[in-house]
Amino acid sequence: MRRRDFITVVGCAAAWPLATWAQQTAMPVVGFVRDGSADTSARLAASFRKGLNETGYFEGQNVIVEYHWLEGQYNRLPQLMADLVRRQVAVIATPGNVTTAAAKAATSTIPIVFGVGDDPVRLGLVANLARPGGNATGINFFAQEVVSKRLRLLHELVPKAVRFAVLVLTSFPVPSRMARRAPPCGRALSGALCAGDGRRSR
C-alpha cells in the first residue's frame, strides 16, 4: 500500500470516533503526531485531510486538527502525549510505531488511530487482529515482514555477494528491531551473511 493510500485510510478511520464526539461538542480536536517535519510530511498531511473530508469532516468547520511534528526528537513524546490526554482531545492519530506506542502508554480511553509497520499485537496495541478491543485501531503495513524479501532480492541481484550491511538509526527502535531480524534471514540464503549478527545495532 502506498503511503498516500495508507494515510487516507488512517484519516477515514480517525473519523469513526469523531462521529460520537461530535454529538458532545461542536468542534472536536484531533491530535496528529508524526515523527518527521512539516515539510517532509506535507503529502501525508494532505492525504490525512482528504480522508477526513471523505467522511464529512473539514478543518476549521467541524473539526480541528493539531499537527505535531517531532522532527526526530522522540524525547518530546511523553510530554506531548500527556498534554493531549490532559486536554482530552477526541482522537490521537499516530502514523508510526514509536508515536503509537507513546499514545497507548499515555491513555487507555482516548481513541488512537494508528498505522504501524510492526505487529500491533506484539506492540501491545490490540488484543488480537480479529477483535482488537481497547482504544486503539488502525492498520499494519508489515514493514518488518519484507526484510527477508528484500534480502532475497539482493541475493538474486548479486548472487556472489556473501555479506550485506544493514544501516539503521540507533535512536529509533523500530529499524533496530528490523536489523536484528535480518541476520537469520541472511543465513537462510545459501550461506549469505549479513554485516553484524544481531549483537550490535550500529
d(CA 107, CA 136): 10
Longest dimension (CA), the chain: 64
Residue 200, pLDDT above cutoff 60? no
Q: Among 12-16, 27-31, 63-67, which is the least confidently predicted range?
A: 12-16
**Model pLDDT for residues 83-127, shown as the tens digit of each residue:** 999 999 999 999 888 899 999 999 999 999 988 877 888 878 888
- DSSP annotation of 186 reads H
**Model pLDDT for residues 53-80, shown as the tens digit of each residue:** 988 999 999 999 999 999 989 999 999 9
Q: What's the mean pLDDT in 154-171? A: 73
- Ordered by start, the domain boundaries in the chain are 3-140, 145-195
β 193-195/91-95 pair status: unpaired
| Overall CATH class of domain 3-140 | alpha beta
State residue 22's pLDDT score: 52
d(CA 26, CA 7): 25
- If one compares 161 and 7, the residue with the highest pLDDT of the two is 161
CB atoms under 10 Å from CB of 27, counted, come to 12
